[in-house]
Structure 1
Amino acid sequence: MKKVFLAIAYLIIAASLYAASSFYFNYDFCHMMVKEDGPLENLTALVLLLISVLFAVRLFKQYGDRNKLWVAMSVVVAAGAFFGFGEEISWGQRIFSIQTGEFFSQHNFQGETNLHNLEVGGVNLNKLIFSTGLVVVFGAYFALVLLLYKKWSFFTRTIDLWGIPVPKIRYSIIIMLCTGVVLLIPERRIWELWEAIFVSVLLLVFLDPYNSKEELLP
């Protein structure tokens, strides 16, 4: 099963890169892939749901054998991935044809029931939290965690105590190269494509981390 999920993650990354490059020779295909409720947005949601389920299953199986910090981190990741899944599909609003409430109609610039498109008091939450905030956090995660894990014993103990999967160097290289490719594409919705790559690389890390004790599927 682990090999199947790894293969799926690599296929999504490859499909996303092909969709990005198609901007220059088949724009209609590129636009179809990155459109609202398009294939890549749906794949992003499904990968996030898969990550949430895998963390929840591992938590259930190992709950009695691990420390409280490990349990807390597993809960946070499982809940965070599920939150991301819900946000991607606007909590089923379009699937079940649910009408947008008054608050979200007024403050969500897409008129949807989700938090990442909210603008409150002139502050764009998507840009502040879901773009800038996550870029800083995960930029540091992919750029620094492996180096610090190898070189700083206190950092190593802390990571092991919390059970945080450490990305192998190849996954850091993949996300950086893919980000560079995406930045070259002048398509307005290209970040839908990057999100599919990003969650797929996270799945790779969680399935095959440097600290193999934290593999989702040993």
Structure 2
Amino acid sequence: MEKIIKIVVYVLLTASFLGATSFYYTDEFYHSLVAEDGIFENITALVLLSISVLFLIRYIKEHKTRGRWWKVLNILIVVGAFFGFGEEISWGQRIFSIQSGEFFAANNIQQETNLHNLEVGGVNINKLIFSQGLVIIFGFYFVLAQLLYRKWDKFQALIDNFGVQLPKIKQSVVMLLATGLVLMVPDKRIWELWEAMFVTILLWVFIEPWNSDEKILKS
């Protein structure tokens, strides 16, 4: 299973990088990739669902031998990844042709039933939480977490108690390259593609972390 997921990860990342560069030589094809309900938005949703399922399986297998904070983090990831999956597909709204309620019709930028496109009181929820907030958190995660783990005993103990998977250097480099590539494309829809790369790299970290004892798939 691990080998299969790695192959899928490598294929998705390669396709994502090629998809981003397609902006410069095949505009129509590029926009089909990053369109609403396009291939990369669906990839993001499916990868998030996969993460949720894999962490649920991990929890079922290991929770009896793990501590309280490990359980808390794993449940949060199961719920959080599933929430992200639901948000990406607007909780099945377009699949089942469900009309948005009055609140979402009035306050959602795309008139969809999801939270990440809400704009309340002039505040864009997606920009505030799902963009700026996550950039800070995962910027720290990919750039500094492993270094602090090596140098700071208290941080190491915290990571071990929660069972956090830390990225390898190669994974952090790929994440930085992906972000740099996306920043070079002058089109706001490119972030749909970045989201697909981001969650795919996270899945890669989860199955092949630097601290190998915390990998979610064990032989």
After the TM superposition, which residues 20-169 of structure 1 pair with which residues of structure 2 at under 5 Å, given as runs?
Answer: 20-169=20-169
Give the equivalent residue in structure 1 for 2:13: 13
Distance in 1 (alpha carbons) for counterparts of 2:205 and 2:5: 12
Structure 2 residue ranges without an equivalent (≥5): none
After the TM superposition, which residues 177-216 of structure 1 pair with which residues of structure 2 at under 5 Å, given as runs?
Answer: 177-216=177-216
- The one-letter code matched in structure 1 to 2:193 is L
Distance in 2 (alpha carbons) for counterparts of 1:188 and 1:169: 28
Over residues 80-129 of structure 1, what are the superposed CA-to-partner deviations in whole Å (9 max), with x where a residue is unaligned?
10010000000000001011001000000100000000011111100100
Deviates more, 1:186-195 or 1:48-57: 186-195
Over residues 104-162 of structure 1, what are the superposed CA-to-partner deviations in whole Å (9 max), with x where a residue is unaligned?
00000100000000011111100100000000000000011000011111111110001
Runs of 4+ in 1 over 2 A off after TM superposition: none
Q: TM-score, normalised by structure 1?
A: 0.99
Distance in 1 (alpha carbons) for counterparts of 2:9 and 2:44: 10
- The one-letter code matched in structure 1 to 2:159 is I
Distance in 1 (alpha carbons) for counterparts of 2:195 and 2:120: 24
Distance in 1 (alpha carbons) for counterparts of 2:9 and 2:187: 23
Distance in 2 (alpha carbons) for counterparts of 1:26 and 1:84: 30
Give the equivalent residue in structure 1 for 2:176: 176
- The one-letter code matched in structure 2 to 1:160 is D
Over residues 145-198 of structure 1, what are the superposed CA-to-partner deviations in whole Å (9 max), with x where a residue is unaligned?
000011111111110001011111110000001110111111220000000000
Distance in 2 (alpha carbons) for counterparts of 1:177 and 1:188: 18
Distance in 1 (alpha carbons) for counterparts of 2:181 and 2:109: 28
- The one-letter code matched in structure 2 to 1:51 is I
Distance in 2 (alpha carbons) for counterparts of 1:105 and 1:80: 24
Distance in 1 (alpha carbons) for counterparts of 2:59 and 2:164: 13
Give the equivalent residue in structure 1 for 2:4: 4
- The one-letter code matched in structure 2 to 1:170 is K
Residue 7 of structure 1: how far off its partner (Å): 1.2
Distance in 2 (alpha carbons) for counterparts of 1:54 and 1:118: 29
Note the aligned Cα RMSD (angstroms): 0.6
Q: TM-score, normalised by structure 2?
A: 0.98
Identity of aligned residues (%): 56
Distance in 1 (alpha carbons) for counterparts of 2:25 and 2:123: 37
- The one-letter code matched in structure 2 to 1:42 is N
- The one-letter code matched in structure 1 to 2:175 is I
Structure 1 residue ranges without an equivalent (≥5): none
